[in-house]
Amino acid sequence: MPCALCDDTGWKTVDVDGISRVTRCDCWRSRTSSSLMDEARIPRRYAHCELDNFDIHTDSQRAAFRSGTRLVESFPIVDRGLLFYGDAGVGKTHLAVALLKALIRRAGARAVFYETRELLKLVRDTYNSGTEATEMEVLRPAIEADLLVLDDLGAEKKSEWVDETIGMVVNARYNERRVTIFTTNLDDSANTEPTSFAYHLGLRTRSRLLEMCEWLRIEGVDTRELGPQPSAEAVARWQERSPASPKNRRSGGLPGKSGGQARAQLRGRERDGKADLKWPGGRAGSR
Ligand SMILES: [Zn+2]
């Protein structure tokens, strides 16, 4: 059935102060935003993520939410993107996906989501014989999108090739002043820490990221431990007592000398969900 307002032309006539004007029809808007949404590559597990179901339990979650909604409201007049860093489970990816969807709906932005490891795998696959796509064809959507969400930066295994490829994407977006939202479990600790930005991405990429993004450290509560809708009291108790609370981890009794490394290893394990055996020969079939 054709649209009653525009007869499927995508343009409708409206009355503004007694003058008849032509404007985009609502049906055109919703068609456009639904096709942009289809092209945004949002993984199904994040399909439910919206701004109004983002859980705010901490000040840093509130600050990140505010900066994010400000970005959406000012788009495309935006100087810098956002970089959400912090532990797993604090809502970084949820917020990034919700902002991406809001930008599509509000501004009709061409926006794409890539998990960093997945993007690197797609590029790597182009090196196999029998694949037609070139490295650039795979990277172009990520480089040229109005908004790129690059999720879980730093979860990939470090190598010179990985550094170069990520550096190239970051640089290209920086040069074109395109808006990027990064999420990462990396921390801005000393450059000897394997989980630091400086160690994992290199000082050059770190400084690019500082220039092109507002950095927001997000601390949360572990909703896997507390359940989805914890009360304020439960949150306070958790922050005070749980060994997983940021407060207790930071003052944690790890031995002084090797403390940094031990903490880094612990964090690495948490992230992988399994112990890294640190076999000196590297992993079989390593990426
Ligand atoms: Zn219409």
Tell me how far the alpha carbon of residue 133 lies from the centroid of ligand 1, in angstroms.
37
Q: How far is the CA of 32 from the centre of ligand 1 (A)?
A: 12
pLDDT category at 240 given cuts 50, 70, 90 is confident
Q: For residue 250, what pLDDT is reported?
A: 57
Residue type, 172: A
Query: Is 18's pLDDT higher than 60?
Result: yes
Q: Are 171 and 208 in contact (CB under 8 A)?
A: yes
C-alpha 29 to ligand 1 mean position (Å) = 9
- 76 CA to centre of ligand 1 in angstroms: 26
14 Cα–ligand 1 center, Å: 12
DSSP code string of 34-85: HHHHHTT---GGGTT--GGG----SHHHHHHHHHHHHHHHHTTS-S-EEEEE
Nearest residue to 147 via CA among 108, 197, 205, 119: 108
- CA–centroid distance, residue 6 to ligand 1 (Å): 4
* Residues 75-106: tens digit of each pLDDT: 999 999 999 999 988 999 999 999 999 999 99
CA of 48 to the centre of ligand 1 (A): 27
Confidence of residue 53 (pLDDT cuts 50, 70, 90): very high
Model confidence over 204-235: pLDDT tens digits?
999 999 999 999 999 988 776 777 778 888 88
Distance 9 CA to ligand 1 centre (A): 7
User: Does the pLDDT at position 189 exceed 90?
Assistant: no
Write out the residues surrounding ion ligand 1, Cβ under 5 A. 3, 5-6, 25, 27
Residues 138, 141, 143, 144, Cα dihedral to 10°: 150
| SS3 state of residue 154 | coil
| pLDDT given at position 254 | 43
- Residue 60: pLDDT band (50, 70, 90) is very high
Average pLDDT, the chain: 85
pLDDT in tens, 124-165: 999 987 778 899 999 999 999 999 999 999 999 989 999 999
Ligand 1 centre and the CA of 30: distance in Å? 9
> In angstroms, what is the span from residue 147 Cα to ligand 1's centroid?
27
Check residue 251 and give its pLDDT: 45
CA of 250 to the centre of ligand 1 (A): 56
Interval between CA 74 and ligand 1 midpoint (Å): 27
CA–centroid distance, residue 10 to ligand 1 (Å):
5
